[in-house]
Amino acid sequence: MTGRLELLRSLMSVKNTEAALFSNPINIAYLSGFTGTAGCLLVTAEEGYLFTDSRYLLQAQNEAKEFTVIDVGQSLWQKVAESLALSGKNILTVEADHLTVESYHKMSAVLSGVKVSALPSLAAELRSIKSVEEQEALAAAVQLTDRAFAHILPYLRAGVRERDVALELEFFLRRNGAAALSFQSIIASGHRSALPHGVAGDKQLSYGDAVVLDFGCLLNGYCSDMTRTVFVGSFTERQRQVYHAVLAAQEQALRQIRAGITCGEADAFARKVLAEHGLADYFGHGLGHGLGREVHEAPKVSAAVNELLIAGMVITVEPGVYIGGEFGVRLEDVVVVEEQGVRNLTQSTKELLVVGA
């Protein structure tokens, strides 16, 4: 964690931040190693304090050895105020994207004389670039998801409910080490496959259905995310054309994405291919998103985003086409951005598959 704290303090210096308070448990774990669910973290240029209650004191002392652990008792914000005073700091940045309005007002009432600014989390900016160890953890989570996709293919046939497909995927992932799903699985078949976030329901798979499977797991603190589209029994010529257009769009993006281009430029590579097939109007979301301790992290890879992609970022590449009332197709891989291109962590086939035949 020492390296992360050094990077954080450098960023704080650039942002003219005397002290930063972190309330998001994911950011707290990232910066300190503490995995409890109650507490907050205060970092200055010289000190680090972890505030928690009696339930987590021993755990915090064992996991967050670089921090002074403080028992908050019944007065969290008073303890924060005392630590700020001890550090001689009177300018504090808090996580605008996590701290509730209620907590913000309670804290402000106690921190008299302290200028409090609610800004996007500095930790989120650091987390966007993954270390080698984080990339390896993400690769392991993606590999488990690849195995789950291979496992589920024989299970897909007419008459099986979407909900049961989702359950079988979850059972497999958890039996093989996953702590949880990284999000509620999307299993959407037939006309429901045109819903980009069509979570599994009671619909039964039917002959001729397109089936979009979008799922992931949390393994050793890091998330996976993948999407494949398969067809039950058979497919139409229209379905085949759309599938190969989406595949061509993804392949073009995978060939062109590299460090130094903007997120908007990355999105445009795929969108241009779909436009050439007359399908751009059916691609309503962005090309992808960052992936790490959360399933959606910085950067946001979409048309209007001018943020640069940087080597070490891990992103999804997931173009899709959704024709309302008919069917949808999406393909999604997880890649590491590198100087000369991308390294694809997802290895599941993208051959057009017919299942349950």
The tokens for 99 are: 């701290």
Strand partners, 258: none
CATH number of the structural domain spanning residue 101:
3.40.350.10
Mean pLDDT computed over 323-346: 98
Report CA-CA distances (Å) from 162 to 179, 214, 243: 22, 12, 21
Quote the pLDDT of residue 320.
98
Residue 1 has pLDDT above 80, yes or no: no
The parent domain of residue 344 ranges over 132-355
Residue 357 has pLDDT above 90, yes or no: no
pLDDT per residue over 151-202, tens digit each?
999 999 999 999 999 999 999 999 999 999 999 999 999 999 999 999 999 9
Mean pLDDT computed over 305-328: 97
pLDDT per residue over 123-158, tens digit each?
988 999 999 999 999 999 999 999 999 999 999 999
Q: Are residues 305 and 182 in the same domain?
A: yes
Quote the pLDDT of residue 290.
98
Domain termination site, one of 78, 97, 127: 127
Q: Are residues 185 and 315 in the same domain?
A: yes
Q: Are residues 280 and 252 in the same domain?
A: yes
Quote the pLDDT of residue 201.
95
Q: Are residues 114 and 182 in the same domain?
A: no
CATH number of the structural domain spanning residue 327:
3.90.230.10
Q: Are residues 105 and 10 in the same domain?
A: yes
Residue 328 has pLDDT above 90, yes or no: yes
Domain termination site, one of 67, 101, 127: 127
Residue 257 has pLDDT above 90, yes or no: yes
Please state, in angstroms and rounded to a whole number, the distance separating the CA atoms of residues 218 and 116: 34
Quote the pLDDT of residue 112.
81
Quote the pLDDT of residue 114.
86
Mean pLDDT computed over 99-103: 88
pTM to 2 decimals? 0.93
Q: Are residues 89 and 155 in the same domain?
A: no
Report CA-CA distances (Å) from 187 to 178, 201, 216: 19, 8, 12
> Which 3 state secondary structure label does DSSP give 207?
coil
How many structural domains does the chain have?
2
Q: Are residues 247 and 330 in the same domain?
A: yes
Please state, in angstroms and rounded to a whole number, the distance separating the CA atoms of residues 325 and 190: 9
Q: Are residues 117 and 137 in the same domain?
A: no
Q: Are residues 65 and 193 in the same domain?
A: no
Burial 177-193 (b: 16+ CB within 10 A, else e): ebeebbbebbbbbbbbb
Quote the pLDDT of residue 7.
93
pLDDT per residue over 281-294, tens digit each?
999 999 999 999 99
pLDDT per residue over 19-75, tens digit each?
999 999 999 999 999 999 898 999 999 999 999 999 999 999 999 999 999 999 888
> Which 3 state secondary structure label does DSSP give 156?
coil
Residues 6+ apart with CB under 8 A from 62: none
Q: Are residues 18 and 119 in the same domain?
A: yes
Q: Are residues 104 and 212 in the same domain?
A: no
Q: Are residues 138 and 88 in the same domain?
A: no
Outline where 212-352 has alpha helix (H): 237-256, 263-276
Domain termination site, one of 104, 127, 150: 127
